[in-house]
Structure 1
Amino acid sequence: MCVLALAVAQPQPEAGECYYLQRDGSLEELANEPNPAKGFGDIHFFVESPDQSAALTSTRRDDLQLQLAAADVLYRDVLGLTPPLLMPRYQRAHFIMVILRTDQTRGGQAYDEVVRSAASPDCHIRMALGGQVIAERNLTPAHELFHLYQNAHMMFKQAWVHEGLARWSETLLRGGVQEGSPLPANVEALERVMQESYGAAPFWQRLFYLLDPQGDISIPDALRDKRYHDGSQVVAVTEFYGSAFLPLLFSSLNEAGEALATQEQWPVYGWAEAEQRSLRHNEAILSAVHHAVSTYMPVADQPEELRAFMQLIEPMAD
């Protein structure tokens, strides 16, 4: 368990805080190529159990790094999202730490605070991956990186938003994008979506499809050509939906979170974890969705299914 204590730093009201981890695991930095650009290029790999670092082959690490780099290009250049380190919440972070847990074969976790510790005295944000994850068979690295993008843009971590959108993001690499299930037509169906986690991905897929039925095929050739060591494609998607809408959705959720923090007299980036996940904020989220859709597509242009959904959530958006 990590104990957080506020690191001493000059006040920067526009930025999130940097916390000191008083107890941190046994971490050892691997050789990392320096990158002068502040963005995803500033990634530092650490191993959690240095005595087991030999179990992490260079091939496996290269494939993990390849997936992360490709996912970042998709999120940043294709979707048009601002990289986490360039967002106000993470202005004090100097790099992204990727902790490889060499004894784990699967799984990952994205952390949402800017931290530093004796193992790494510079402020940074973190994600952890099972060091034995096989990138060509597992999209956990891309999934966890998307969480860092979400954390940088919004404080909401309700599972249907946080995990549903992150699961959708995997389709940008996996391919085989579907049109999704019909949008909820009544309150009961909407409530079922908002009780979901990863299972909410089809909801987002459908919303994006209705807003962008032509799809987006603007995958850079350089990404299409990327291959893992086994020869398989890193980015297999050929078309997807919602690329122009997603930045607007993230911006609307960001604004809704700031308004809620002002209303509740919370620090903008200092919400209690329970509040970040509380389902009582679903109306604020739906209001942000309603605002983003209305801004992106006038009512007259909305297909009937989307218009009916917007009418359903409109009372909650007031």
Structure 2
Amino acid sequence: MQMATAGDTVKKATRFHPWRGWVALLMLCVMVGKLTPVVAQPHPEAGECYYLQRDRPLKVLASEPNNTEGLESVRFFVETADQRALPDATRLDDLKMQLEAADVLYREVLGLTPPLLMPRYQRANFMMVMLRADQVRGGQAYDEVVRSPAVSDCHIRIALGGQVNAAENLTPAHELFHLYQNAHMMFKQGWVHEGLARWSESLLRGGAPVGRPLPTNAEALDVVMQDSYGAATFWQRLFYLLDPQGASLIPKALREMRYHDGSQVVAVSEYHGSAFLPLLFSSLNEAGATLAHQEQWPVYGWAEAEQHDLRHNRAILSAVHHAVSIYMPIAEQPDELRTFMQLIEPMVD
């Protein structure tokens, strides 16, 4: 979304007759100076709240308040006016349990800052979980703060198939992780955006392998960067090499959570890289801010194509190199990790 700036106004003002140009410019500068203190200006570190001209009819689902701190600002809606299409109480309870468990894992186990507390989402008042009654499964996470004729409060949202069976499907947790990613970084390259989100599912599913060896040459690295969900094995391997001992500290309340069919909500027994991930997210955040400054983009106003553009892989790899170097000095790195770091070192800015 593009908005007129003072610079645009200056250009228009200087189109007057030459002898009047300097006078008009001087008057404009005085006017801008007088208006600045009284015209509301968005905080430079906060994202915008965009108004959606159109939105499908939404019906709020009444729900009992939960005791999970991170999800206290979640509201559930359904895209239907047909009561018969609403998810049954059991599936809705299972869905809420998975989202609550995932949020605790992301906040307490991984140490990530919740989306609503990040600068990009300062204007969001809540997270919307939108159930699409005309879809059985699948999901989508949206990255902007929005409001609409149907929902007047600013919010961020994810959409899920209205009949999703959380006991058999980790799409809700996957899409919630995307909100965490979107709050921390602007990059949406598949190997980062979907690869990391698929990896996050292992925190609930458990049994994740340690992955294939890291790339040792440019061709192998390019294969990873051209991948999407399959890049989860790359991240799993990197996290394993940085944290070979792993951890198994899952809050007792999560270990005891059960879906209505009796299966565990959180089945993981060991995971790797939990202490490294916040550092990686921070490094990717800084890389995005630097790139936005260089390209003269709004910090959170990148064009969608730019967010996906593979030419930014260089900046991403530089951020990965930076995060790894801080987390584990080169002298402590195993040979496989050191070889990979040497491979991506030319990408470092």
User: TM-score surpassing 0.5?
Assistant: yes
User: Is the contact made by 1:5 and 1:19 (CA closer than 8 Å) also made in structure 2?
Assistant: no
The 5 A counterparts of 1:128-207 are 128-207=159-238
Offset at 1:37? 9.1
Report the AA paired with residue 291 of structure 1.
Answer: H
Residue 301 (structure 1) aligns with? 332
CA distance in 2, matches of 1:279, 1:231: 43
Q: 1:162-220 deviations in whole A, cap 9, x for unaligned?
A: 00000000000001021111000100000000000001000000000000000011101
Normalising by structure 2, we get a TM-score of 0.87
Moved more, 222-231 or 29-38: 29-38
Cα distance change, pair 225–48 in 1 and its aligned pair in 2 (3 A): same
User: Is the contact made by 2:68 and 2:100 (CA closer than 8 Å) also made in structure 1?
Assistant: no
- Secondary structure of 2:77's aligned partner: strand
1:80 matched to 2:98? no
Cα distance change, pair 163–46 in 1 and its aligned pair in 2 (3 A): same
| Higher CA-based Rg | 2
Unaligned 5+ runs, structure 2: 4-38
The 5 A counterparts of 1:37-52 are 39-52=70-83
The 5 A counterparts of 1:61-100 are 61-100=92-131
User: Is the contact made by 2:70 and 2:104 (CA closer than 8 Å) also made in structure 1?
Assistant: no
Offset at 1:36? 10
Unaligned 5+ runs, structure 1: none
Offset at 1:114? 0.1
User: Is the contact made by 2:215 and 2:221 (CA closer than 8 Å) also made in structure 1?
Assistant: yes
Q: 1:252-279 deviations in whole A, cap 9, x for unaligned?
A: 0000000000000000000000000000
Report the AA paired with residue 199 of structure 1.
Answer: G
- Secondary structure of 2:131's aligned partner: strand
Cα distance change, pair 160–80 in 1 and its aligned pair in 2 (3 A): same
Report the AA paired with residue 125 of structure 1.
Answer: I
User: Is the contact made by 1:40 and 1:85 (CA closer than 8 Å) also made in structure 2?
Assistant: no
1:225 matched to 2:225? no
Report the AA paired with residue 144 of structure 1.
Answer: E
User: Is the contact made by 1:252 and 1:292 (CA closer than 8 Å) also made in structure 2?
Assistant: yes
CA distance in 2, matches of 1:37, 1:12: 30
Offset at 1:49? 1.0
1:124 matched to 2:155? yes
Normalising by structure 1, we get a TM-score of 0.95
CA distance in 2, matches of 1:218, 1:36: 21
User: Is the contact made by 1:52 and 1:103 (CA closer than 8 Å) also made in structure 2?
Assistant: no
Residue 316 (structure 1) aligns with? 347
User: Is the contact made by 1:38 and 1:94 (CA closer than 8 Å) also made in structure 2?
Assistant: no
Residue 145 (structure 2) aligns with? 114
CA distance in 1, matches of 2:298, 2:70: 25
Cα distance change, pair 32–213 in 1 and its aligned pair in 2 (3 A): same
1:56 to 64, 83, 87: 87
- Secondary structure of 1:311's aligned partner: helix
Cα distance change, pair 42–236 in 1 and its aligned pair in 2 (3 A): same
1:254 matched to 2:285? yes
Residue 11 (structure 2) aligns with? none
Deviant stretches of 4+, over 3 Å: 32-39, 52-55
1:28 matched to 2:35? no
1:102 matched to 2:163? no
Cα distance change, pair 9–93 in 1 and its aligned pair in 2 (3 A): farther
Residue 287 (structure 1) aligns with? 318
User: Is the contact made by 2:76 and 2:131 (CA closer than 8 Å) also made in structure 1?
Assistant: yes
Cα distance change, pair 101–280 in 1 and its aligned pair in 2 (3 A): same
- Number of positions where the alignment pairs a residue of Structure 1 with one of Structure 2: 314
CA distance in 1, matches of 2:117, 2:68: 11
Cα distance change, pair 5–260 in 1 and its aligned pair in 2 (3 A): closer
- Secondary structure of 2:268's aligned partner: coil
- Secondary structure of 2:91's aligned partner: helix
